[in-house]
Amino acid sequence: MAASTRHVGAYLLRYRNRYPEATIIHVASSMFDTTMRPTAGRRRDLKPVLDAIEREVARSAASRSPPRILVHLFSNAGAYTTALLATTFERLFHAFTLPLASLPVPVRMIGTLLVVLGLAVVLGLQRMGVQDAVDWSRQVLNDTTMVNPQAPRLYLYSKDDEMVLSTDVEDHSNEAEARWIPVHRAVFEKSAHCRHVQLYRDEYWRAVDDILSTKGTGLGKTLSS
């Protein structure tokens, strides 16, 4: 949410260099989108994303090549946006692979501005009579009627992340495994929230490349750095 262009660009450049034929879609969230914008409006905003995905699925079908769709999402805002996509366009999400960068987890009070703003997301949705956004996103992303239970999933998280606790990430990944979703984990020791790639660049991208090369169901694995 509200990530800098330079920060996002580093990820986009990596994907463009590694997968030059891929279509890349970047979905950004502002503080207003997540805290104040009604859900119906946010769903309408995501319509161009659906259109782009449908075009790629149709193109793959025409070439008789099954689509490989990667969803790379960050933190609770990314989880919320992805959950909105899943519930709105659930039929498409049965082709998706999910690498999850430290999400979705309960919001923690640790005295930072970002967490206070994160709480505004929850309060804003409760004001509209909607279930806690984080809890709702957490449930949707482990709901096998909404996401493909056969799609491999990667959790990237750090033991030193004070905003998204590793125990919360592990709770969600364990819940996914209990539903027979193939889970992979990349666990880092000292990186801060959503800063794993800055300290563990090679390990981070190796884990992402590994998940993209995985096909079908199977047991996951855990990598520690």
CATH of the domain at 85: 3.40.50
Compute the mean pLDDT over every residue in the chain, rounded to the nearest whole number. 72
pTM over 0.85: no
Q: Check residue 45 and give its pLDDT.
A: 82
d(CA 111, CA 134): 18
d(CA 155, CA 138): 13
Confidence band for 26, pLDDT divided at 50, 70 and 90: confident
- Write out pLDDT tens, residues 116-166: 443 443 444 444 444 567 788 888 888 888 888 888 888 888 887 777 778
Domain range enclosing 18: 5-224
Q: Check residue 215 and give its pLDDT.
A: 61
Number of domains composing the chain? 1
- Other beta carbons less than 10 A from residue 154's beta carbon: 26
User: What is the average pLDDT across 42-48?
Assistant: 82
pLDDT exceeds cutoff 50 at 218: no
Q: Check residue 5 and give its pLDDT.
A: 66
